Amino acid sequence: MRELAYALAESAPLAEPSDLIIGQTTAVTVCVALMIWLGLLGRPGRPTLLWTLGFILALLGSYGSLASAAMGTDVLLHPVGIGITFGMPMLIWSGLRAMRGKRAYPWIGFAQSLVTVLILSFTTLDPAGFSIFQWLFLATAIGSALGAAEVLGGQFRGSRFATPLIAASAAMLLLATVGVAGSAVTVSSQYDLLFVRGAVMVSTIYILCATVSLLFLANRRQGANDVLDALDAFNPPPLMRAIVRERLLRAVTRHEQSWSFIDIRLDDALDLREATGEAAFATMVARFERILVAAVPAEVDLCRITPGHVTVFTSQPPAAVRELLRTVLNETAAVQEDAPTSLRTSASAGIVAVVPGVHTYETLLAEAAAAADQAQLQGGDRWSRAATPPPVR
């Protein structure tokens, strides 16, 4: 790459950052924010954690390249910072494996980034530097292909959510294959520079497509093909908010006073998750949700806030709700012979008697949560009722 650097030094200033790198940095920053907000915080777990770490690698690579460009280095001639991004596909693959309950290998992604940066640091000035970069990019493309293969089978089979990730992985693998094959046939400085530009562009497209696919995969029901299919017995929080608001408006018009809002959750859920592991905790959450679904009438609205934490909106008065909750709490605390852990499982709940015209979805959520917290402070495996505000006169 030394000859190419000298040839271009006279024709173009190197002190200004590349527009490609600025564009990539902007896109990656937005994608990282979305993955943390809608992925890691919205669906906390090992898969979303691994994906977030992969996006952070891409962010470090983008900002590293931007910093190098700001200091006067042409990152297309010396793509050392870009190499940090090369471990991202393997972390995405690891997260997909974790979501399917298979063994993940996240260390491969971190090792790939480290090795790539070290190799590029010592070879970007060598005559064979571009060829080495092309082979390293091919290794990255193979990692993206492994992720695409992961979403083509198992619980992801038939899901439309996987299409952007598969298409971007195919584009990356195609470019990498063409680059390696082309370098064996022709030696051209312009061709090499064009390949690095293409690699940056395709990597940016891959990051954008991965964000779309992974966020949908993290928030969908297994086997769902579209957004409507992703709904199970539990509404997502945004839909629950709309349902409660609409029904409160109708309750005001009809002067109905028999509605109840419930916050029910597993006791010590965080400790259970840490003590038993993700798989055992998921089994306990699934059993808790099955008990709740079987106990409530079909017209009752359920919302999954987080695993093991559910809100309920029903037209039943608090007196009837207490009988329902007694059944759910007793069955949750019942000892199971085939339980994944010997730890005792229990749940607590907070009940709010809804006053239409006074309560909003936000106030119901806050009051029910406070009542559930109070029940847990009293030892758990019980329910607590929030104070009823005065009706509108």
Query: What pLDDT does 102 receive?
Result: 83
User: Is 229 a member of any domain?
Assistant: no
Q: Which of 218, 253, 286 is the last residue of a domain?
A: 218
Question: What pLDDT digit, counting tens, does each position of 138-189 carry?
Answer: 999 999 999 999 888 766 776 777 889 999 999 999 999 988 887 777 666 6
Domain count, the chain: 2
Instruction: Say if residue 261 is in the same domain as residue 211.
Output: no
User: Is 226 a member of any domain?
Assistant: no
Query: What pLDDT does 16 receive?
Result: 44
User: Is 392 a member of any domain?
Assistant: no
Query: How would you class 38 by CB atoms within 10 Å of its CB: exposed for 0-12, middle for 13-18, buried for 19 or more?
Result: middle
Structure tokens at 303: 């919302």
Query: What pLDDT does 221 receive?
Result: 58
pLDDT at 12 over 60: no
Question: What pLDDT digit, counting tens, does each position of 211-239 carry?
Answer: 999 988 887 655 555 555 556 788 888 78
What is each CA distance from 229 to 165, 191, 232, 233, 311, in whole angstroms? 20, 46, 8, 11, 21
Q: Which of 218, 250, 284 is the last residue of a domain?
A: 218
Question: What pLDDT digit, counting tens, does each position of 81-100 carry?
Answer: 888 999 999 999 999 988 87
Query: What pLDDT does 279 receive?
Result: 76
Among 42-51, 190-199, 324-333, the range with the most confident prediction by mean pLDDT is 324-333
Residues 6 or more apart in contact with residue 161 via CB below 8 angstroms: 212, 213, 216, 217, 220, 224
Instruction: Say if residue 97 is in the same domain as residue 185.
Output: yes
Amino acid at 298: A
Q: What is the pTM of this model?
A: 0.59
For CA atoms 117, 121, 126, 130, the dihedral sign is positive
Instruction: Say if residue 258 is in the same domain as residue 196.
Output: no
Separation between Cα atoms, residue 219 and residue 42, nearest integer Å: 8
Instruction: Say if residue 206 is in the same domain as residue 326.
Output: no
User: Is 230 a member of any domain?
Assistant: no
CB 239 within 8 A of CB 332: no
Question: What pLDDT digit, counting tens, does each position of 274-304 carry?
Answer: 888 777 888 888 899 999 999 988 889 999 8
Amino acid at 174: L
User: Is 157 a member of any domain?
Assistant: yes
Instruction: Say if residue 101 is in the same domain as residue 182.
Output: yes
User: Is 227 a member of any domain?
Assistant: no
Q: Which domain holds residue 301?
A: 237-385
Whose CA is closest to 171, among 195, 145, 194?
145
Instruction: Say if residue 113 is in the same domain as residue 150.
Output: yes
Instruction: Say if residue 158 is in the same domain as residue 128.
Output: yes
Instruction: Say if residue 187 is in the same domain as residue 260.
Output: no
Instruction: Say if residue 156 is in the same domain as residue 278.
Output: no
User: Is 285 a member of any domain?
Assistant: yes
- Domain of 266, CATH number, reads 3.30.70.270
Query: What pLDDT does 230 receive?
Result: 57
User: Is 390 a member of any domain?
Assistant: no
Q: Which of 190, 218, 246 is the last residue of a domain?
A: 218
Element (H, E) at 26: helix 19-34
CB 99 within 8 A of CB 47: yes
More confident residue, 76 or 39: 39
DSSP secondary structure code for residue 125 in this structure: T
Whose CA is closest to 272, among 337, 344, 331?
344
pLDDT at 4 over 50: no
Instruction: Say if residue 203 is in the same domain as residue 241.
Output: no
Instruction: Say if residue 139 is in the same domain as residue 246.
Output: no
Packing angle, helices 361-377 and 237-254, rounded to 10: 110
pLDDT at 6 over 50: no
Instruction: Say if residue 251 is in the same domain as residue 126.
Output: no
Query: What pLDDT does 3 receive?
Result: 46
